[in-house]
Chain A
Amino acid sequence: DGGITQSPKYLFRKEGQNVTLSCEQNLNHDAMYWYRQDPGQGLRLIYYSQIVNDFQKGDIAEGYSVSREKKESFPLTVTSAQKNPTAFYLCASSILGQNYGYTFGSGTRLTVV
């Protein structure tokens, strides 16, 4: 079945370490997105990419980096510059030029200790 996979589901890291969250989709979707969600809050856009080798900052890009070397993959690196990295991270994908919305992964819960 086609879908979008995030791994790992839970991730623990020490403060000051960079960490990379994986997001892979086999839906042949053009665009991919990363969101951050804090407890009891909505989703905030970190980065998005609408074509391979190109990506754009969202509302809260500081302290994060991404790459889009393949259409299927959009990894997110949480760097040591992110002041409060503990959160639930969600990856999504979509087809451009349509109105069927996004398909989301199941999320990665990152805890920095």
Chain B
Amino acid sequence: DAKTTQPTSMDCAEGRAANLPCNHSTISGNEYVYWYRQIHSQGPQYIIHGLKNNETNEMASLIITEDRKSSTLILPHATLRDTAVYYCIVSLLLNAGNMLTFGGGTRLMVKP
């Protein structure tokens, strides 16, 4: 699986958009980009995933560059409850032998 690079930490003002970048320059054509977040002392929570096209759901938007070497997770109106560690993961389809590998992630602090 391709490795990802994320900033260690970021701050965001409450009510503003939080834009979390992820670099995955070695991603292969059939690897998906997943985003999870982990609030302190809880299990990680699935946010969104995509392959090539931009995706949006009730939690966030995922913007994937045309060359697929990087992506950005957008929380459109960050709240204090969005303070968490955000993990960007690339993985093949979850068939036998394929796993999600969680790196260090980005620690997002939403401030009043």
A and B pair up: yes
Give bound CA distance, A100 to B46, whole Å: 8
- Please report which residues of chain B, range 30-53, place their CB below 8 angstroms from some CB of chain A when the two chains form the complex: 32, 34, 36, 41-46, 49, 51
Picked from A95, A96, A101, the residue with its CB within 8 Å of the CB of B100 is A101
Q: In the complex, how many residues of chain A place their beta carbon closer than 8 angstroms to a beta carbon of chain B?
A: 29
Q: Are B41 and A101 in contact (CB under 8 A)?
A: no
Q: Are B102 and A43 in contact (CB under 8 A)?
A: yes
Q: Are B102 and A50 in contact (CB under 8 A)?
A: no
Give bound CA distance, A96 to B100, whole Å: 12
Known contacts A98-B93, A99-B94: does B103 contact A107 (CB below 8 Å)? Answer: no
Chain B residues whose C-beta falls within 8 Å of the C-beta of A21 in the assembled complex: none
Picked from A41, A98, A104, the residue with its CB within 8 Å of the CB of B44 is A104
Beyond A101-B100, A102-B44, A102-B100, 8 extra complex contacts between A and B, CB < 8 Å:
A35-B102, A42-B104, A42-B105, A58-B99, A94-B94, A96-B95, A99-B49, A100-B49
Picked from A41, A48, A90, A99, the residue with its CB within 8 Å of the CB of B99 is A48
Q: Does A92 contact B (CB under 8 A)?
A: yes
What are the 7 tightest A-B residue pairs by CB atom distance, in nearest-first order?
A: A104-B43, A43-B102, A42-B102, A101-B46, A42-B103, A42-B104, A104-B44
Give bound CA distance, A38 to B44, whole Å: 14
Give bound CA distance, A31 to B43, whole Å: 17
